[in-house]
Structures are given as structure tokens and as C-alpha cells.
Amino acid sequence: MDTKELLKKVRKIEIKTRRLSDHIFGGEYHSTFKGRGMTFSEVRQYQFGDDVRNIDWNVTARYNEPFVKVFEEERELTMMLLVDVSGSEIFGTDLQFKNEIVTEIAATLAFSATQNNDKIGLILFSDEIELYIPPKKGRSHVLRIIRELIEFEPKSKKTNFAEALKFLSNVMKKKAIVFVLSDFISEDYQHTLKIASGRHDMTGIRVYDRHEEAIPNLGIVQMQDDETGELMLVNTASKTVRNNYAQYYRDKVNYFKESFTKSGAGTIDCRVDESYVKKLLGYFKRRG
């Protein structure tokens, strides 16, 4: 992709997702994800209705009239985006690939955080850490994240979500808001997720295509594993084959939901042909 085409794509995503974050998600994001607490701001003269527990007795004694301490919410937070860039994300049978929807969701979340003056960081992962962008503030930083999401070429096509969680725990010592965007066609991450959720506010966003849920009856067809590259002949006319695949897929989805629920983390299911706007907004409102 040349620079001109890349900048055009970045600008298109910015216009769409920034409008969403400004007009829809800004207030919802603020009310859903609270700051670390209240911090002292100033003292002022007591007014009728003020909480007497906030009276500053030292200042009151000095001026011989009541003064109260004023507190404000300590708002600054850090959002981390963990994005799966394995081979299975480059799949789509409708209007968009999964990775294109992932990019739009990530951009919308990032601009919502920017509107609240929060820092945003990015971890791209396959079965290894492909890229880490430390948290920073500002529009130019978000645009860099979008550029990476559009054009980054991973070294590996496989997935290891547990490794990404371990890396997150190593680089983020303070509590962060963490969104994991993946199709979650993997297992063996429940224990690591529970540890990460003990420190961070975790949400898994499962992005999937409706045609991944079942194999249609097309006779004998050649299929390729997106992550291993392995080619195989599959007899899709076999009901057993179709049922086994459907069960395999359901098991992966159930593992995802069970793992996040047991860890106290949130989940969002987003099909590529559905509105991710409604899904995000509904999630924010339920949590708020």
C-alpha cells in the first residue's frame, strides 16, 4: 500500500470513528470507566448544603470562619488495545473482513478515550508480540495506531492470547482499561486472563463472521487453515463432519464467554454484518 492510499484510508476511518466517539460514545465512556478516585483540588468558604465532613478545620481556625475542602475526580486513565493480527482475522464473506471491523472498533474506542484526555496504547499479537506502542495522549498518537492497524504485516499467522496477556502484565503495572479484539478461536488462556483481570478492567470483543459458525454442504472441497497454511480436502457432504465442526466452533465460543465471565471481565459479540455501534453502546450503558 503506497503512502497516499494509506493516508486516505486513515482519514476515512478517522472521520467515521471520530464522529461516533464525539457524538455517541464520549459521555458513555466517561460514565462507564471511572477515574482512580477523588483528589484534593482547593479550599473555599463553606456554603449552605456543603458536607460538614469536608470542613478544613485548620483553615477554619485560621480565618475564624468555616472553609471546606473541594475534591474532583481523578480522571486520567490508560486504555490498552490488545489486537489479534493472526491469520484468522483476514477473513470475511460479507462486506468487510474481520480485521477491518476490528480497526474501526479500536479507532472508535481510542478517540473516545482521547476525548476524555486518557492515554491509549496498542499491543498487536499473534503467537508472539508483534508490536507494542506505549500509551500516550493525543490525536496524532491515535492516527499512528490506526496506521499500524491498517498496514501492519505480522510475522506469524498463529495465535497465543496467553502470551499477549503475560506481556500486558509486564508492561502495565497500574490499572488500565483493556479491550481485547479477536475472534478467540483459541484456548488455554483462562488462568492468565484471571490474573490480568485482577489488575485491569478487561473486556473481550469477539469479532466473527456468520459463515464461520457452520460449514455448508458443498461436497468435497479444498480448505486452508488460515493460521497454519495447511491444505486439506474436506467432505462437507458428511453430516458428521459438519456437526463436528459446529461443535468445535461452539466449544471455542463457550470457552471465551466462560473464561471472561469467571475472570470478572466483560464480553461483546460483534458479527461483521451487524452494527458494532449498537453493540458498544449497549455494553457501555449496561456497565454505566
Q: What is the pLDDT of residue 77?
A: 85
**Global pTM value:** 0.80
**Does the pLDDT value for residue 285 go beyond 90?**
no
Residue keyed to cell 491444505: 231
User: What is the tens place of the pLDDT at every residue in 230-253?
Assistant: 788 888 888 888 898 899 999 999
Task: Answer for the pair 220, 232: CB distance below 8 angstroms, yes or no.
Answer: no
In the chain, where does the domain assigned CATH 3.40.50.410 lie?
Answer: 3-32+76-287
Q: What is the pLDDT of residue 284?
A: 86
Share of the chain above pLDDT 90, in %: 44
Under DSSP, is residue 208 helix (H, G, I), strand (E, B) or coil? strand
Q: Are strands 266-271 and 201-208 parallel, antiparallel or unpaired?
A: parallel
Q: What is the pLDDT of residue 40?
A: 53
User: What is the tens place of the pLDDT at every residue in 149-203?
Assistant: 999 999 998 899 999 999 999 999 888 999 999 999 888 999 999 999 999 999 9
Q: Average pLDDT for residues 72-82, to the nearest whole number?
A: 76
Classify the C-alpha dihedral 11-89-125-194 as positive or negative: positive
**Does the pLDDT value for residue 59 go beyond 90?**
no
Q: What is the pLDDT of residue 20?
A: 75
276: which 3 cell numbers?
Answer: 458494532
Share of the chain above pLDDT 70, in %: 87
**Does the pLDDT value for residue 1 go beyond 70?**
no
More confident residue, 219 or 256: 256
**Does the pLDDT value for residue 48 go beyond 70?**
yes
Q: Average pLDDT for residues 268-288, to the nearest whole number?
A: 88
Q: What is the pLDDT of residue 3?
A: 72
Identify the weakest region by mean pLDDT among 10-24, 51-65, 175-189, 247-261. 10-24
**Does the pLDDT value for residue 288 go beyond 70?**
no
248: which 3 cell numbers?
Answer: 468445535
Helix, strand, coil fractions of the chain, as percent rounded to 5: 45, 25, 30
CATH number of 3-32+76-287: 3.40.50.410
Band of pLDDT at residue 92, cut at 50, 70 and 90:
low
